Amino acid sequence: MTQYTAGVVVKQVKPKPRPRYHYCILGIVLFLLLLLPVSYFADNIAALLTSSSNTNTTSSEDRKMATPSDLSMLSTSLNTFTWDLYKSLTRGADDPSGNLLFSPLSIATTLAMTLSGTNSNTKQQLSEVLHLQEHPAVAAAFSSIISKYKSSDDGADCILRTANLMYVSNMLEMRQQFAEVITGQYKAAAKTVDFGGKTEEIRLEINSAVENETNSKIKNLIPLGVLNGLTRLVLVNAVYFKGLWMKSFDKLDTVQRPFHTSETESVMVPMMHKSADFVTQYHKDLEATVLNMEYKGSNLSMVIVLPDARTGLAALEEKMSGFDMKTLLPRNMKTKVEVFLPRFKLEYSNDLVKTLSGLGAEDLFLPGKSDLSGIGGPPGDLFVSNVLHKTFMEVNEEGTEAAAATAMIAMTRAMFRPPPPFVADHPFIFILQDNHFNITLFAGRYTTPDVSADKEEL
């Protein structure tokens, strides 16, 4: 099971003696808050969408439909963004060798929604970080993906759904074009609220909505004290996934085995075991073996990238940067492989402001320099103060549950060899991949088992 939430919060700073107000956007995975001057007022979302004050709008009839080229463009951009983010998160972590779990899709969706409200240098910087240009084709591509995931059958073996929510302050006048893009292309459900008068009630309502969308895996997304009377907009994106393995593991075959955290240290973990037909591929350039484990009733799979050496993860991560996922994913015929994989559960949370700023989106977080005038107000009135990301994933014998919140091979990069046992008994990279859209839903690394949790589950 995997789940993920992301977002951005914008608040109004106390005005100086004279002119302008400044606002912050605080982001939480699948969560976005925007603040605008109190001199603006919007009674409800309907007024925003029917307003005729802005002539640069796009009607539903004129919305661009995604083409195969648009989806390929988004896939390529997200692939690059994924590994940029992966490298930055690992290098900037308090524990550079610790576990990691993030949803590139969820973060990119939230940032893409924000991108549609940016202008000038802020737009340029954020576009470069996402490797995307703010263009109707981008929103159309995201729209196709969101539509696909919203139609997931909850009764199926594989459940994958995403939801965008928009909470708008009754003190905010939003640009009509921004409102139409968010509710139209990104399919956000909208609601007008009174952040000033019902702060705690609204915080609990948003957290409850996120908890509901993620099957109770993401709780308390917005901490106490984040929302106040200066809050103007909250955009929430939630991603939930639960899938059964095509080849499930037998719980009776799960036994305690050592997981090597270094050349000389190891801990005992519940190691799942299965001998079945899987697709594996050895990449000589990466000095790693890739295992592709499919989920029932879907185009999704879990990809495990296991370095040859017990201490080879750092070198593998350096080589993975810029590595084309189309080349990485195994495309060999299935062969009988003996697989040993730890049963694990990961939770991760982080404020991504420093990470995104380091990747190049500096102006977005600077009062007076950030230009979010495409959302509302003049340039410099809004800036992003926080981007909070929260994820959950559980991998067990039956499959994977997660919350968060993609093929031609260059044969010179890989070679075939008879598959030896695939024993994931040392740190590895994992990727939850949508093979239809060729995009990464979740990515991370498993380096440090939670021994106490593992013992409790046995």
Pick the CATH number of 2-245+347-392 from 3.10.20.740, 3.40.250.10, 3.40.47.10, 3.30.497.10: 3.30.497.10
The pair of three-digit structure tokens given for residue 103, joined into one six-digit string = 């949803």
Residue 301 contacts by C-beta under 8 Å, 6 or more apart in sequence? 292, 293, 294, 295, 432, 433, 435
**For the chain, percent of residues with pLDDT exceeding 70:** 77
Average per-residue pLDDT for the chain: 78
**C-alpha to C-alpha distance for 175 and 164, rounded to whole angstroms:** 19
Which range is most confident: 32-46, 242-256, 402-416? Answer: 242-256
- Write out the residue limits of the CATH 3.30.497.10 domain(s) in the chain: 2-245+347-392
**Residue that wins the pLDDT comparison between 101 and 214:** 101
Architecture in CATH of 251-343+406-457: Roll (2.30)
CATH 2.30.39.10: which residues of the chain? Answer: 251-343+406-457
416: pLDDT strictly greater than 60? no
What pLDDT score was predicted for residue 456? Answer: 44
**pLDDT tens across 206-217, in order?**
889 888 888 888
Confidence of residue 447 (pLDDT cuts 50, 70, 90): very high
- pLDDT of 171: 76
Strands 2-9 and 233-244: antiparallel
d(CA 152, CA 242): 11
pTM: 0.83
Asked if the model's pLDDT at residue 16 lies above 70, the reply is no
pLDDT tens digits for 296-347? 888 889 999 999 999 999 999 988 876 777 777 766 678 899 999 999 888 8
Average pLDDT over residues 72-84: 92
